[in-house]
Amino acid sequence: MSIIVCGSMAYDNIMIFEDRFKNHILPEQIHILNVSFLVPELRRDFGGCAGNIAYNLSLLGSNPLIVATVGDDAEDYRRRLDALGLSQEYVRHVPETFTAQAFITTDADDNQITAFHPGAMMFSHQNDVRAARGGRAQLAIVAADGREGMLRHAEGLAEIAVPFVFDPGQGLPILSGEELLHCLELARYCAVNDYEAQLMSNKTGQGIELLAARVEAFVVTLGSKGSHIYAGGERIEVPVVPPAALVDPTGCGDAFRAGLLHGIEQGWDWLSCGRLASVMGALKISHRGGQNHCPGRAEIEALFQSAFGENPWA
């Protein structure tokens, strides 16, 4: 059986500026800003919500089925998916577009200036998620994507009765309060970070408890403070797993969601699902980029055992 993963696929272009932005931006001249930063270090990583979540699911032994759109420049990403053994059956090519890309410049103080080009992601609604089921899918996630794509994927999954996690992420600001409530009504689960939870509350006019009551489980990540899972009328507190090193948070949320999905797929209780999600986030944060960590299943189980004194797979 497969887990349908709807969301963006992107290239993350990371550039390192070895000075500080504040030394080159004059506050009194901000109205005529014209600056250039020399970036001798450039790294290009594979990313995007769907790509990252699917990668982490593959590490766990699940079978992700990606539903996403890419542009004319996707050959490198396609070769990577082939090497990982991930299906491209529903990775749709949109001619005359670029694959979504983030251009991130980081200075010596870890300040960032980011530009994001959505490219093919804006045509995600051209993928009909209903075709991806094929009798194989038992679970899905709708992650950040083009606005119309997120809405259509949520409605399509509800139509074919595949339970899904609604994970609007960075796409949350482009959805109205009514659209957010509509997606929650269709979803079985929801996962957001604490900032997104507050933004969702503000846009819908409903508190976290009321939003959580609309789904079977409402997961709020809290960074270094762990996560809360609202389920069955209670709030389950899940601690963070101490990482080997704090290197790069890029993609940690996607790794967390992969752990959550795998736990749901296995039929675990919510505390165990949250604990695995924390383990996956800890493994990711000790590496740069969204897909450069490569623990084996044995390493994942060992970290779970070390952190929580049990092995839920045993």
267: CB partners within 8 A, 6+ apart: none
Answer for the pair 53, 143: CB distance below 8 angstroms, yes or no.
Answer: yes
30: CB partners within 8 A, 6+ apart: none
Structure tokens at 64: 């992700």
Answer for the pair 89, 134: CB distance below 8 angstroms, yes or no.
Answer: no
Cα(244)–Cα(273) distance, integer angstroms: 21
Q: Is 254 a catalytic residue?
A: yes
From the list 83, 85, 46, 45, the residue with the least C-alpha distance to 62 is 85
CA-to-CA separations, 234 to 110, 217, 223, 264, 270, in angstroms, rounded: 38, 10, 21, 18, 11
Count of CB atoms situated within 10 Å of the CB of 214: 17
**45, 145, 248, 254: which one is catalytic?**
254
* CB burial string 85-105: b at 16+ within 10 A, e below: ebebebbbebeebbbbbbebb
CA-to-CA separations, 11 to 170, 287, 289, in angstroms, rounded: 16, 17, 10
Q: Sheet containing 164-167: which strands, arranged edge to edge?
A: 91-93, 64-70, 2-6, 137-143, 164-167, 189-193, 217-221, 227-231, 234-238
Pairing of strands 164-167, 137-143: parallel
- In this structure, what DSSP letter does residue 286 have? T
Catalytic residues: 254
